[in-house]
Structure 1
Amino acid sequence: MKNYVVNLIKYKDLLIELIKKDIKLKYRNSILGIFWSMLNPLLMMVVLTIVFSNLFDKNIENFPVYVMAGRLVYQFFSESTNFAMDSIVANGQLLKKIYVPKYLFPISRICSSFFTTIVSIIPLALVMVFTGVSFHWTNVFIVFPLFCLLLISTGVGLLLSTVNVYFRDIKHLYSVILTLVMYLTPIFYPAEIIPDKYMLLIEINPLFNVVSMFRTLLLDGAVPSVALMSFTFIYAILLSLIGLFVFYKNQHRFVLYL
């Protein structure tokens, strides 16, 4: 772990350049460029609101903001982990020629996705204004669930990038897993409709508590309970440590499979 931190400081300039490159590649040949990070969540919010508002609008106050907040969290997790998964294989030729800390590649993918997610908060704030959601000083604490989300995505991303080196079919399997995660996360439906017998399965989903805290801070202006915050943070730390451990134990063998 100490070596990770030392190398991260030593190669911070390279990491910044990788993040910039990932952002540029994402919007290459795009007319609107980074503005898609603001337009995309707005369009998805409109679609989901039109499709599901008749079903759940009466049960959920400020349905557009509710949907957009949940979608923003899920979109970051989905995009960042997908990008991180392919990062080692995509840079295989470079890793064979020179020494570069390998974990910089999945981390740069995650950080670039995190940057575009932060940009996506701007249209979320605009929707809050237009739908009459009150702003509170406690809204600033959304940095906590976002930080937990970053840790979770880093752990999962490092784990996936490791597995993908040995088992390339993980891409297809992971798309199925992401679909399952999406439906296990109350993005467009209220959590109250979930039967108690399934709640344990829902709460194992790492995004469930993050989405819950994110919405509580935005819609209610209330600070989540200490118990919920502590559990989510410990869960996020554990996932990130597992990802780091698996990556560290396997990184020396990557070149044999690239």
Structure 2
Amino acid sequence: MQSATTKAGVSAKDAWYPASKRDIFILKELVSKDFKLKYRRSALGVVWSVLNPLLMMLVMAAVFGSFMRYNDPTLGNYAVYLILGNTAFQLMNDATSQGMGSIIGASSLLKKVKINRYVFPVEKALFAGVNYLFSLIAIAIVMLVEQVPLGVTALLLPFGILMLLFFSIGLSLLLSALSVFFRDVMHLWSVVLTAWTYATPLFYPFAILPGWMQTLERFNPMYVYVTYVRDVVLYQTVPSVGMHVACVAFAAVSLLLGMVVFKKNQHKFILFI
């Protein structure tokens, strides 16, 4: 009797092999497909990738900058402060939320075609990265309107975003594997993201937190990545060596954990999807 993995067209030997040209081609095609599906029947199309962060920034700036008085001068320009934090956090949010259900969503394909399973959660993270690139236009517009200059330190932005993307890929691999066996993970993760949003200084200043919470923020990966992005773009300062190490460490741990859990359990996916 054939095993479940053999029925699916994927042997144990082929279950996890390095990325090949075929995998890269599949990733490109899937990203392209998701991009087209997202803006299908939309009058403005890709413009929404620019409008969404702008509109969110305007709403949050009105609420927190005026009503709650979070326009602390130490934050620098509050509109830029907001949009830099929100777009960076949204990258992780989109990558993990979409990547989490990627294996389940591709169940019919996995049962018929021999394909590396990791392609699906990785593709969702890459698609979130593509959307982030469009949000850079929104950031540029806000900086232009607010007359915030762009310094040479902005050249370090790709490093911070790349580390954030690796961190998000690791989480996507982990969550996509767990959600195959425990569907409750999908519901729980939405709660975790909500809590994580408020636990990260996205719309409020870090300084208002009590001392013990400021200490805990050092262990919050999204605080590290958001702070890095703001430092190089808004404050035009070069982050410390410790900040660079933290960015790499969080990305490495997330990626390693996600890969280990995914690789260990992927041969059983076919039995549960």
Q: TM-score, normalised by structure 1?
A: 0.96
**Is 1:187 equivalent to 2:199 in the alignment?**
no
Correspondence for 1:201: 216
**Contact residue 88 and residue 165 of structure 1 kept, 8 A:** yes
**Contact residue 177 and residue 261 of structure 2 kept, 8 A:** yes
Correspondence for 1:145: 160
Structure 1: how far apart are the matches of 2:158 and 2:19? 26
Q: Deviation digits for residues 6-32 of structure 1, max 9, x if unmatched?
A: 334442111110111111122222221
Partner amino acid for 2:31? Answer: I
How has the CA–CA distance of structure 1 residues 185 and 8 changed in structure 2, closer, same or farther, with 3 Å as cutoff? farther
Structure 2: how far apart are the matches of 1:5 and 1:224? 36
Correspondence for 1:74: 89
**Contact residue 84 and residue 157 of structure 1 kept, 8 A:** yes
> Secondary structure, in 3 states, of the residue corresponding to 1:222?
coil
The structure 1 residue matched to 2:72, chosen from 42, 48, 58, is 58
The structure 1 residue matched to 2:127, chosen from 112, 116, 122, is 112
Correspondence for 2:141: 126
Structure 1: how far apart are the matches of 2:72 and 2:220? 26
Structure with more helix by fraction: 1
Correspondence for 1:22: 34
The structure 1 residue matched to 2:252, chosen from 219, 237, 244, is 237
**Is 1:45 equivalent to 2:53 in the alignment?**
no
**Contact residue 152 and residue 239 of structure 1 kept, 8 A:** yes
Unaligned regions of 5+ residues in structure 1, if any?
none
**Contact residue 34 and residue 116 of structure 1 kept, 8 A:** no
Q: Deviation digits for residues 34-59 of structure 1, max 9, x if unmatched?
A: 11110000000000000001311134
Correspondence for 2:48: 36
> Secondary structure, in 3 states, of the residue corresponding to 1:199?
helix
Structure 2: how far apart are the matches of 1:179 and 1:76? 14
Aligned length: 257
Structure 2: how far apart are the matches of 1:127 and 1:203? 28
Greater Cα offset, 93-102 or 55-64? 55-64
Give % identity.
38
Alpha-carbon deviation of 1:218? 0.7
List structure 1 runs of 4+ shifted beyond 4 angstroms. Answer: none
**Contact residue 22 and residue 108 of structure 1 kept, 8 A:** no
Structure 2: how far apart are the matches of 1:253 and 1:71? 37
Q: Deviation digits for residues 92-141 of structure 1, max 9, x if unmatched?
A: 01101121100001111111110010111011011111111111122121
How has the CA–CA distance of structure 1 residues 131 and 28 changed in structure 2, closer, same or farther, with 3 Å as cutoff? same
Alpha-carbon deviation of 1:185? 0.9
* Higher CA-based Rg: 2
Alpha-carbon deviation of 1:74? 1.0
Alpha-carbon deviation of 1:203? 2.5
Q: Deviation digits for residues 43-87 of structure 1, max 9, x if unmatched?
A: 000000000013111342200000000000111111111000010
Structure 2: how far apart are the matches of 1:8 and 1:184? 39
Greater Cα offset, 62-71 or 6-15? 6-15
**Contact residue 158 and residue 244 of structure 1 kept, 8 A:** yes
**Is 1:218 equivalent to 2:263 in the alignment?**
no
Alpha-carbon deviation of 1:4? 5.5
Structure 1: how far apart are the matches of 2:192 and 2:253? 20
**Contact residue 84 and residue 105 of structure 1 kept, 8 A:** yes
Structure 1: how far apart are the matches of 2:203 and 2:170? 26
Structure 2: how far apart are the matches of 1:204 and 1:70? 17
Structure 1: how far apart are the matches of 2:185 and 2:233? 35
How has the CA–CA distance of structure 1 residues 127 and 231 changed in structure 2, closer, same or farther, with 3 Å as cutoff? same
Unaligned regions of 5+ residues in structure 2, if any?
1-14
